Each structure stands twice: as structure tokens, then as C-alpha cells.
Chains A and B, each alone.
Chain A
Amino acid sequence: MINSRFFNRSELIGFIVLAAVLFVILPLSLDVFRLNLVAKYLTYAFVALGLVLCWGYGGILSLGQGVFFGLGGYCMAMFLKLEASSVENTKIQSTPGIPDFMDWNQITSLPLFWQPFHSLTFTILAIILVPGLFALIIGTAMFKRRVGGTYFAIITQAVAAILTILIVGQQGYTGGINGMTDLRTLKGWDIRPDHAKVILYFVEVVLLFACIGIAQFIRLTKLGRILVAMREQEDRVRFSGYSVANFKIFAFCMAAVFAAIGGAMFALNVGFMSPSFVGIVPSIEMVIYTAVGGRMSIFGAIWGAILVNFAKTSLSESFPQLWLFGLGALFIAVVLAFPNGLSGLWADYVQPRIDRLFASRKRKPGWNDNSVADGAPAE
């Protein structure tokens, strides 16, 4: 049943709708401030996309995606911060040329691990490699010893806690609880004015679609099928001669890299990075974006990230008290009432109607047979 086409029909519709909304409708209808907010939401869509691969397909629930989001974001922010703290910008400090928070914490020279972040090439490599390697280490240590399920979730959560405490505690090296603020230019190009925000938005959307392409490719190849098989019957896959641990490590690393790209785009679009996007609470919120959108659906997860964040912004602007109640209820409702999220609802209620509409127009049996194992089509 290997699909010869890259998208089946309903996925193609989902793809076109998403592309139209992100490339045309939103940029035309929103002002720059709101567009920048959408760009912020979309950074979480990267994380949600990674979680679809890792959690929805691989069955590995990671509660530490904030770690990778944060690592990517901090790598980017370190580069931007170094550029913003050039000698002439920081001449009022007692040590010019180092970031302001280091100066406040009586550090007089740039620490060694900050040095390579003067180079943009190194930074871009680091955004991919640092979280990737970190995920590789955690994944190897855990999956090779067959730790999985709830234990893995708890340990990734502990890692998120550790990293947050470390960032907050090592104020002189990381900016502490305030994070890295006042990021200004990228290779001399100011990232703060409106036209830069619009350009960054489009860069981000293009990157997002590239990641969607990668995820879809993984899903359609044999690799994606093994991931699903592993989620359903881990032992049978192992007995068939596949190395379950390696596939799990791969899925986890992919999710980490996607999250890191999201984090880097966050630092660029929002203009700061702080430990409040690293810890336990944001990590679990990232899982809920995926759960609301549909853990099986690539496009669903992206809509989940956009819609939940949109609800969060609008509700917490007008009813700050209600937001936490709403978010809590959303968690419970997603688990109890619609475990496949929005895309599940779509597949159950909307898709059949559309199908009937098309089926009555022209009869062409069998076009829907090639949907992949889980059967939850994209929104």
C-alpha cells in the first residue's frame, strides 16, 4: 500500500488550505503586530510537528520538548546578544563588549562556551546539533535500556526542571530568570522594525513547510510504518529483527531538532528568550497543542498550536482568571472526549460529508484506500 503520491487527496486539501491561510490570508488581513503574534504561535507549531512524529507515531511522550525549544532558542539568542553587545553599544559597562547581564554579575571576560557564537555558521549548526546531540544522549541512555512510557515522560520532565533551575541559577552566563533580552540585529540587519517582522514571518512559514515536508516524507516511508508498528506492538517489531531503540532515538531526535528550529525562530521573531519557555509548564503546554490538534495529524497539530495560542492570547487578555480554567478543562476534554483532537473530529464529522459531496459528483472508487495505517486524515 505504499503511496505513490506525496499527499493523498484530503492531505492535499489540508496542505492547500494551510498554505493559503499562512501565505496569503493572514499576511493580508492582519496588521504587523498580530502577524508577529501568529509568528510566535507558529514557533510552537514546529514543536507540535515534532511531537506528532515522536508521540503520535512513535508513541514516545516527551514532556521535555521545552528543553530543545529552549536550547535552539538560546543558541540563536546568544548569537544575537553577542552582536547586540558590540564594544560601541556597551561602552558604558565596566567591561565593554560582553553582554549586559554578564557585566551586572561581575564577569569580566566572555566565557569560553560563548566564544564560537560570534559566527553565524556555527550558530546555525549549533541550533541543529546541540539539541540533536542532547536528544541522542538522553534517547540512547533511555531507549537502549528499554525505558519507555511513563518513566520516560517523568525523566524528560525532570530534565526540563534541571535545565530551568540551571539557567535561572547561573545568572552570569545565561541571563537568569529575565533571559536574554534586547536582541537587535542579525548580521547587521535590524530584526525589530515592521518590515523585518514580515520578512521573518515568511522565512518562518517557509521553514515550517520544509519541516512539514520532512515529516510527511518520514511518515510515508517504511520508517513511518515501523514507528506506527512499534507504538502498537513493540515486541513484535523487535522480534521481527528491527532495532526498536534506534527507531525511537531517531524519532526523538527529529522531534528535538524541529523543536529547536522553533525555538530559534522564536528568538528571532519575539526578540528575547527566557527560561519561562524551557521548564515543565511550557513543555506540557506544547504537548497539549499537539493533543488538541490531533496527535496523529501533521496539519492538525499545526492548527492546534495556532488555535490554542490564539485562545490563550485572547482569553488571557480579557479574562485572565478564566484562562487557566479553560486550559485545564481543555486538557481533560481532549483526553476524555476527543482523544484524536480536532483532526479526529474533522475525520469523524466533516470529512464524511465532504466525501459524500464528491462521491455524488463523480464516482471513482478507491481513492481513499491509500491512507496510512492510523486512518486519521489530516485536516
Chain B
Amino acid sequence: MFGDYSIGDLGSIFVMQGFAGLILFSVYVLMALGLAIIFGQMGVINMAHGEFMILGAYVTWMTSNVFQSYLPGLFSGYFFLAMILAFVASGALGMLVEWVLIRHLYKRPLDTLLATWGLSLMLQQAYRSVFGAREVGVELPQWMLGSLHVTDSIEVPINGVFVMCLTVLITLSVAYVMYMSRWGRQVRAVVQNRIMAGAVGINTEKVDRYTFGLGCGIAGIAGSAFTMIGSTGPTSGQLYIVDTFLVVVFGGAASLLGTIASAFSISQTQSTLEFFMSGSMAKVLTLLAVVGILMLRPQGLFALKVRK
């Protein structure tokens, strides 16, 4: 498949496809970050994660519509507000779900899978009833369109760079919150030993609720980024959920660094392969490689060495 291209061409192809994969990478990272917090830290399998992401996408779409009709002057900046709103909406829904559903199921991880799958079906139907079954697309502000010319043969899309920066920013803040702040210490303490954490005065239920909310909120931001690569429909989230779980498992469930590395390798492999073959075969090969590597190394790329 490489035969028809010269070395220089191949270099440009890899760079260009690499940048084309940036948005996919960002969506994976943001989705997987939320999931890594929820699955890696709390042990909850949240199959409705894709629907939390789509909620963020719909919030972004609504915000863009509101700005278009009432505040056309500020349209170029709507995206920042939309992201904050997406975070708040998905986070709030996440906390509600935790309170109603998840907190009864912490000891039964496989059952959280079934229950959250049920939740995802209900959310999908809710989106279909509220927003309609047709997919909606978001209009991007002018400054996000177009691309930067780096060299003659390499072009970089601006929205890709923007989303990339955003992802770095959010990843750094999550890392800060989880590893530097007092609240992050409490989260890790609860994960490591719930009873002891409760005994030293941490309100474990509250920590659980906010952790779940944070994970879902980040999924909402992923939804905002998602509006740049695809139109949003009620079932768009379901397409990404398995990929995201693979990203998290592949990276090693409890490791944020591993999550980022695996999101990067999976999205880049996929977008590079897409240049050489059909999209579906690229996806099949990528997933097969991931499953194959997981069979050889079930603990994932970056696993913490723990005694069990």
C-alpha cells in the first residue's frame, strides 16, 4: 500500500493525516478522560457516557442557535460559553444520575453496565423526542474555518489546533485537580480505601457524586468538540462508546497518562490507515490490533503495579 508514494509524500501524508486525526484524538481523550475517572477511579462502567457527550453536543448546538438569532455580533465567541454550558449541563445530569441510580450499585460493576445501558436507551429516546431524529449540524464561527499553511504540502486545520489546545488545557486541569488539589486527594483516598477515608472524616458519598459529575461534565466538553467533526444525532454517542472503553482499557484503567497515550495511538493509527484503505477496514484493523494487544497485555499500556 505504500508502493506508489515517495518518502517525502509519505512524510506529508503522515503529518496531514496526523493533524486530521487531531480532532478525533481530542474527542477520544476528552471522552476517555471522563471515563477513566468514572471507570478507572470508581469502577463504574458507564455505558451512557456517549449520551452525556451528545448532551454536550446538543447544548453547543442550542447555544449557537441562540447566538445566531439574538446575539449575532458575539457569534465568534459563542463556543467558549457553549463549552462551559455543556460542562455544567452534563455534569449536573451526571450528579443526578449518580444520586438516583449509580450509588446503589457500587459493589456490582457488571450491573452498572446494564443499568447505564438502560439509561442510555432512555436518553437516546429523550433526545429523539426533544430534538427530533434528524442529525443537526453546528455552524462554526468564521475564524475557526480554514487552515494554516505550514509548508507547501502540509496544511493544518485551525479548528484542529484549537481543539488540540483545549484538550491539553483540560487534561492539565484534570491532572491538577486529581493530583494536586485537596479534593483530588480525597477522591484518591476514597478509591483506595472507602472505609478508612470515611473514618478520617471524608464525606465519601459527596466525593462519589462530584467525581461522577466531573467525569460526565468532561464528556459534555467532548461533545462540544465533537460538533466540529460530525453532525449530532440521538444515537451518535453510541458509536463512540466502545472505542472509548477500548481507549481506557488499552491505556491501563487507572492511569491518566496511559489514557492519553492510548487515545493518541488509536486515533492516529485509525486516521493514518484511513488514507490507505476504506474507513471501515481502517477501523477494523485498529480495533483488531487493540484487542490483540490487550490479549497479550491485559493490564493495558501503563498499568500501576499493585498487589491484589
Contacts and interface: CB of A to CB of B under 8 A. Distances in A.
Residue from A145, A147, A150 having most chain B Cβ neighbours under 10 A: A150
Among B105, B113, B245, find the residue whose CB has the most chain A CB atoms closer than 10 A.
B113
A339 interface: yes
Contacts of B281: 169
Given A329-B122, A332-B119, A154 B284 contact: no
Interface stretch (B141-149, B203-211, B285-293): B285-293
A32 interface: no
B26 interface: no
B252 to A, nearest CB: 11
Nearest to A331: B118
A28 interface: no
A142 B295 contact: yes
A158 B280 contact: no
A285 to B, nearest CB: 9
Interface stretch (A160-168, A299-307, A342-350): A160-168
Nearest to B105: A335
Q: Is the interface of B mostly helix, strand, loop or mixed?
A: helix
Contacts of B112: 335
A332 B100 CA distance: 11
Interface in B253-308: 278, 280-281, 283-284, 287-288, 290-291, 294-295, 298
Contact of A324 (B108, B125, B288): B125
A94 to B, nearest CB: 24
A158 B242 contact: yes
A330 interface: yes
A48 interface: no
Contacts of B245: 154, 157-158
B115 A336 contact: yes
A154 B238 CA distance: 14
A interface secondary structure, majority? helix
Interface residues of B, number: 41
A33 interface: no
A155 B246 CA distance: 8
Given A331-B114, A339-B111, A147 B121 contact: no
B182 interface: no
A327 B278 CA distance: 35
B122 A284 contact: no
A225 to B, nearest CB: 22
Interface in B113-169: 113-115, 117-122, 124-125, 128-129
Contacts of A153: 45, 110, 113
A165 B284 contact: yes
B101 A162 contact: no
A169 B278 contact: yes
B278 A321 contact: no
A287 interface: yes
A284 B45 CA distance: 14
Interface in A310-347: 321, 324-325, 327-332, 334-336, 339
A291 interface: yes
Interface string B30-63: 0000000001000101000000000000000000
Contacts of A331: 114-115, 117-119, 121
A304 to B, nearest CB: 13
Interface of A: 61, 63, 141-142, 145-147, 149-151, 153-155, 157-159, 161-162, 165-166, 168-169, 280-281, 284, 287-288, 291, 321, 324-325, 327-332, 334-336, 339
Interface of B: 39, 43, 45, 101, 104-105, 108-115, 117-122, 124-125, 128-129, 238, 242, 245-246, 249, 278, 280-281, 283-284, 287-288, 290-291, 294-295, 298
20 contacts: A63-B113, A142-B295, A150-B39, A158-B245, A161-B242, A161-B287, A162-B284, A162-B287, A168-B280, A169-B278, A280-B238, A328-B120, A328-B122, A331-B115, A331-B117, A331-B119, A332-B101, A332-B118, A336-B101, A336-B104
Given A154-B246, A328-B120, A332-B101, 17 more contacts: A61-B113, A63-B113, A142-B295, A146-B298, A147-B298, A150-B113, A153-B110, A155-B249, A157-B245, A161-B242, A165-B283, A165-B284, A168-B280, A321-B128, A328-B119, A331-B114, A335-B115
